[in-house]
Homo-oligomer: A and B are copies of this chain.
Amino acid sequence: MQQPGTRAAERAEGPRPSGRPPLTERRKAETRLDIAYEAVRLFAERGVAATSGEDIARAAGISPRTLWRYFPSKEECVRPLLSTGLETTARRLRELPADRPLREGLEAGLPQAGEADTTTAQLQLIRLLPGEPGLRAVWLRVHHDAEHVFAGIIAARTGADPADLVPRLKAVMLNGALRVAAEEWARRSAEADQAAGVEGFRQAVLQATEALGL
């Protein structure tokens, strides 16, 4: 099923695309993602408890010792797939002109038609969360880490101090709404279809931004 000795990164896209100077950086990022994908696959197949760190390492074509250098725990292996969404969202919000409502930045960039390729693994992972407390902890932690980022963005738009109570509260509440929105997306994508999932996300975001005046 898996070629034990084969580097996952190499399987992923054949000959490396001649990276510029930070070649070594690229390699590490790729390995990180490879581990993440393999971990999600194994967790989905047999569950987290039945998957050992050694299993993940073998699937990714690295030694266990190296796996623990990339991630501090087996659950954390999935973090890249859980955090990219929030990171790109934060980037879009930062680039949004201060006179545009925040929800425009949140709705932009949603998959419009049928292209759901890249997000498939993410959605599958989010659907795993209810039954896997260890993964849920990572999910909550990722969102918690995003709180101060959103607080900074919201504060910057209003000229407030990011340490003030109001921007922090708005950030936490928006962040929670984004979490529910993503969970709703994943749920509806499985029960109905992609379009229904995206619509669920949009509705949740709309409700939240309206209530918070964003």
Q: Show the binding face of A for B, using Cβ within 8 Å.
A: 133, 136-137, 140-141, 144, 165-166, 168-170, 172-173, 175-177, 179-180, 184, 200, 203-204, 207-208, 211-213
Chain B residues with Cβ below 8 Å from A136 are 141, 144
Nearest CB to that of A178 among chain B residues? B172
Q: In the assembly, how many copies of this chain are there?
A: 2
Chain B residues with Cβ below 8 Å from A176 are 169, 172-173, 175-176
Given A165-B203, A180-B168, does the pair A211, B173 have CB atoms closer than 8 Å?
Answer: yes
| From B179, B184, B211, B213, contact of A165 by CB (8 A) | B184
Shortest Cβ distance from residue A49 to the other chain B in the assembled complex, whole angstroms: 12
* Docked complex Cα distance between A10 and B204 (Å): 51
* Docked complex Cα distance between A212 and B173 (Å): 10
Can you list the 7 inter-chain pairs with the closest CB atoms, starting with the nearest?
Answer: A173-B173, A140-B140, A172-B176, A176-B176, A137-B137, A169-B207, A172-B180
Chain B residues with Cβ below 8 Å from A140 are 137, 140-141, 144
Nearest CB to that of A179 among chain B residues? B172
Chain B residues with Cβ below 8 Å from A165 are 180, 184, 200, 203-204, 207
